[in-house]
Amino acid sequence: MHNDLDVIKSKAGEEIASASGLKDIHDLKVKYLGKKGLITTQLKTLGALSREEKKEFGKVLNECKNHIQDLLNKQEAILKTSELDISLKTQNIDVTVPGSSVPFGHLHPVTLVFDEIISIFLSLGFTVEEGPEIEEDFYNFEALNFPKDHPARDMQDTFFICEDVVLRTHTSPVQVRVMEKNAPPLRVIAPGKVYRCDSDVSHIPMFHQLEGFMVDKNIRMTDLKGILELVVHRIFGPNTSIRLRPSFFPFTEPSVEIDISCVICKGSGCNVCQTTGWIEILGAGMINPRVYEKAGYDPDKYTGFAFGLGIERVAMLKYGINDVRLFPENDMRFLKQF
Ligand code: PHE
């Protein structure tokens, strides 16, 4: 029996030493120490031996088993490091090649400008209100002193849903909705989408406005001017001037259009301002007493101003964009620049 073991042991030594890969080591483990392996088979013969023989042979057998296990472990470790060496030598990884980057999105330029303007008004104590984009004729026109068949309705190229329901053409209907539900004093902005049936370099059928209004006792036109001047300075810089020109809106009296000094040529005249040095950015005025009547306010007690600012217009001036249609197109080459 001892002889058998010596043969197994020396054969195992040879085979393990000449194993050239981890697969060989695995096979040899099975061959010698596996369930039906040569050493395991020897262990099974122990049962038939006398107590004395069992003790002696068992000890030798165990030593032999440990010896083989040891050889296997050592050879396995050697092969593992050499396999790593080989793979390091043969598989060249160029760590300087740029990785594939995950593209990050960001906010749309209209959203960026909206957020900036809204936060300016929030800092002045205004609160934000919203109204529906599908609006009743009453709020979009009637309550704002546009009687049916009034020519001023033509100023707003309206999309009709049906006779009395429209896609709102401006954010001004929110004035009436807020006044119906709240008593003065009011200091409100209403940002949102508006719709007009119009499309060219400076018009798109859906665009964004920010309505603002303030109603209380003794609100004057100078309050309007002061607040808008401050907002314009924050958006376009402190050297931007504003001017008020007389205009007409049925829901304000008097009405004005407000220009800023051209942000491109600083007032000296260029093609953006059509050589006038001024650019129109919003419509405004003192709220017409007729609107207060429709909303249930006492026009003798309260006064207030309102204005409507086009967001795309501000974004175009701020970023030097010459075609408003670029905003809804979603061409990544355009959007990536913001
Ligand atoms: N709603 C007007 C428009 O879209 C702008 C405006 C708002 C004018 C508030 C005066 C007061 O043209």
| Residues 248, 153 share a domain | yes
| pLDDT band (50, 70, 90) for residue 38 | confident
| Residues 159, 44 share a domain | no
Domain that holds residue 259: 109-335
pLDDT exceeds cutoff 90 at 113: yes
Say which residue, 283 or 153, is predicted with more confidence: 283
Look over the chain and give the mean of its residue pLDDT values, rounded to a whole number: 92
For residue 170 and ligand 1, the question of a CB distance below 6 A is answered with: yes
For residue 309 and ligand 1, the question of a CB distance below 6 A is answered with: no
CATH number at residue 132: 3.30.930.10
Query: For the CA atoms of the chain, what is the radius of gyration?
Result: 42
Q: Please identify, among 39, 63, 90, the residue that sits at the C-terminal boundary of a domain.
A: 90
Separation of CA 274 and ligand 1 centre (Å): 23
Q: Is residue 98 part of a domain?
A: no
Residues 162-179: tens digit of each pLDDT: 999 999 999 999 999 999
Backbone angles phi, psi at 95, to 5 degrees: -70, -5
DSSP state for residue 5 in the 8-state scheme:
H
Q: Is residue 214 part of a domain?
A: yes
Q: State residue 135's pLDDT score.
A: 98
| Residues 121, 66 share a domain | no
| Residues 296, 167 share a domain | yes
pLDDT exceeds cutoff 90 at 222: yes
For residue 172 and ligand 1, the question of a CB distance below 6 A is answered with: yes
For residue 307 and ligand 1, the question of a CB distance below 6 A is answered with: yes
Which CA distances in Å does 310 have to 14, 60, 313, 314, 322? 88, 96, 5, 7, 15
Q: What is the mean pLDDT of residues 132-157?
A: 90
| Residues 116, 32 share a domain | no
| Residues 130, 86 share a domain | no
Sheet of 165-167: strands edge to edge? 134-136, 165-167, 160-162
Is 289 in a helix, a strand, or coil?
Answer: helix
Ligand 1 pocket, mutate which of 251, 286, 291, 314 (most atoms under 8 A from CB): 251
To the nearest whole percent, how much of the chain has pLDDT over 90?
Answer: 62
For 139-153, 228-242, 288-302, which range has the lowest pLDDT when averaged over its residues? 139-153
Q: How many CA atoms lie within 13 A of 223 on its CB side?
A: 19
| Residues 211, 261 share a domain | yes
Q: What is the mean pLDDT of residues 262-285?
A: 90
For residue 156 and ligand 1, the question of a CB distance below 6 A is answered with: no
What's the structural domain count of the chain?
A: 2
For residue 61 and ligand 1, the question of a CB distance below 6 A is answered with: no
Q: State residue 190's pLDDT score.
A: 98
CA distance 214 to 307: 9
| Residues 169, 79 share a domain | no
| pLDDT band (50, 70, 90) for residue 45 | confident
Q: Please identify, among 60, 90, 120, the residue that sits at the C-terminal boundary of a domain.
A: 90
For 54-63, 113-122, 253-262, 293-302, which range has the lowest pLDDT when averaged over its residues? 54-63
Q: Is residue 95 part of a domain?
A: no
Q: What is the mean pLDDT of residues 79-83?
A: 86
Q: Is residue 225 part of a domain?
A: yes
Q: What is the mean pLDDT of residues 230-236?
A: 97
| Residues 166, 18 share a domain | no
pLDDT exceeds cutoff 90 at 91: no
The structure tokens 């006792």 sit at: 217
For residue 140 and ligand 1, the question of a CB distance below 6 A is answered with: no
Is 133 in a helix, a strand, or coil?
Answer: coil
| pLDDT band (50, 70, 90) for residue 269 | confident
| pLDDT band (50, 70, 90) for residue 1 | low
| Residues 166, 58 share a domain | no
| Residues 228, 318 share a domain | yes
Q: Is residue 103 part of a domain?
A: no
| Residues 213, 145 share a domain | yes
pLDDT exceeds cutoff 90 at 185: yes
Residue nearest to atom 9 of ligand 1 (CA): 307
Q: What is the mean pLDDT of residues 43-71?
A: 87
Are 170 and 308 in contact by the 8 Å Cβ rule? The answer is: yes
Q: Please identify, among 58, 90, 122, the residue that sits at the C-terminal boundary of a domain.
A: 90
